[in-house]
Amino acid sequence: MTLRRRTILTAGTLALASAMPALAQKKIVLGFSQIGAESEWRTANSESIKASAKDAGIELKFSDAQQKQENQIKAIRSFIAQKVDVIAFSPVVESGWGTVLREAKAAKIPVILSDRAVDEKDDSLWVSFMGSDFVEEGRRAGRWLLENYKGQGDVNIVELQGTVGSAPAIDRKKGFEEIIKAQPRFKIIRSQTGDFTRAKGKEVMEAFLKAEGKKINVLYAHNDDMAIGAIQAIEEAGLKPAKDITIISIDAVKGAFEAMIAGKLNVSVECSPLLGPQLMQAVKDLKAGKTLPRRIVTQEGVFPMEVAAKEFPKRKY
């Protein structure tokens, strides 16, 4: 009798012991909807998210929307249907998210905004927004221009905007204009979207050069990729980038450092894509029942061409 009881106990303990690792190993599942691969920045951001999920032992369901909001909405709906633990996404544009975010809320799945904000009145639809302060980036670009532009008289600026309706395009324009309006001689004479890509940046800069020619003193590009595309257009037009036309851009990716070292770009304002580690920490904190800060702002700097060669070896993206 005693022997039989002992045997039963042992079998029960064994069954429990074999179930425990499975319980302990149940991974947190994160659904992430990425905008696409429009820029060097975005590629680095996707890599950061994938690598950090792996390091953190989080199961990542990663979806690339190829720059289309409808694809992001589809991906979020599919994450809801799959009952993931947390949804994070980088919204391609600011508006039009209310319905799908209400669906996530109804399914009790917390949403984290990564990199870009949404324009929705009901801020209970997401638990946290982590990423850069794009208005401040625009201000930094404007301040650099006012402090460093050597020429006299009117300064004619052409602006390459990011994706229409996106938070960085709206905010970087706003921050830049807020600063340059202090000196009315700084004038934006042309402003058009280059959709954050090299190809579009080049195409639109060609059109600016055709229309304004040597009247252009400064190019303000909302990201490095568009600036790099524009540099090609400027060279093809027989002008010297960073000399005949002062060039300011945003992101501070390696490609921008290479352009600065080559003397073709004057300054790049940093926007860090390395959001993966803090996103994974936030996901873990959420699952542990902690309340996240509503806003987590990335700390960033400004890199003029004079420091590019020294800084380059330290760059991670």
Judged by the rule CB under 6 A, the positions of this chain that interact with ligand AHR are: 38-39, 41-42, 115-116, 168, 196, 223, 225, 250-251, 271
Taking the complex as a whole, how short is the minimal distance between the CB of residue 251 and ligand AHR, in angstroms?
Answer: 5
The tokens for 289 are 């029942």
* Position 10, amino acid: T
Of 39 and 156, the one with the shorter C-beta distance to ligand AHR is 39
Sign of the dihedral through C-alpha 101, 279, 221, 203: negative
Taking the complex as a whole, how short is the minimal distance between the CB of residue 253 and ligand AHR, in angstroms?
Answer: 8
What are the strands of the beta sheet with 29-34, ordered from one edge? 59-64, 29-34, 86-89, 111-114, 128-131, 295-297
CA angle in degrees (0–180, nearest 5) for 5-9-13: 175
Q: How far apart are CA 240 and CA 280, in angstroms?
A: 44
Taking the complex as a whole, how short is the minimal distance between the CB of residue 104 and ligand AHR, in angstroms?
Answer: 21
Going by the DSSP 8-state scheme, the letter that residue 245 receives in this structure is B
Q: How far apart are CA 9 and CA 27, in angstroms?
A: 30
Of 85 and 300, the one with the shorter C-beta distance to ligand AHR is 300
Distance, C-alpha 272 to centroid of its chain: 7
Going by the DSSP 8-state scheme, the letter that residue 189 receives in this structure is E
Of 103 and 133, the one with the shorter C-beta distance to ligand AHR is 133
* Position 300, amino acid: E
Taking the complex as a whole, how short is the minimal distance between the CB of residue 57 and ligand AHR, in angstroms?
Answer: 27
Taking the complex as a whole, how short is the minimal distance between the CB of residue 304 and ligand AHR, in angstroms?
Answer: 18
Cβ proximity of 166 and 118 under 8 Å: no
Residues linked to residue 302 through DSSP beta bridges, in sequence order:
269
Of 73 and 141, the one with the shorter C-beta distance to ligand AHR is 141
Burial of 192 (0-12, 13-18, 19+ CB in 10 A): middle
Of 85 and 171, the one with the shorter C-beta distance to ligand AHR is 171
Of 90 and 246, the one with the shorter C-beta distance to ligand AHR is 90
Taking the complex as a whole, how short is the minimal distance between the CB of residue 60 and ligand AHR, in angstroms?
Answer: 20
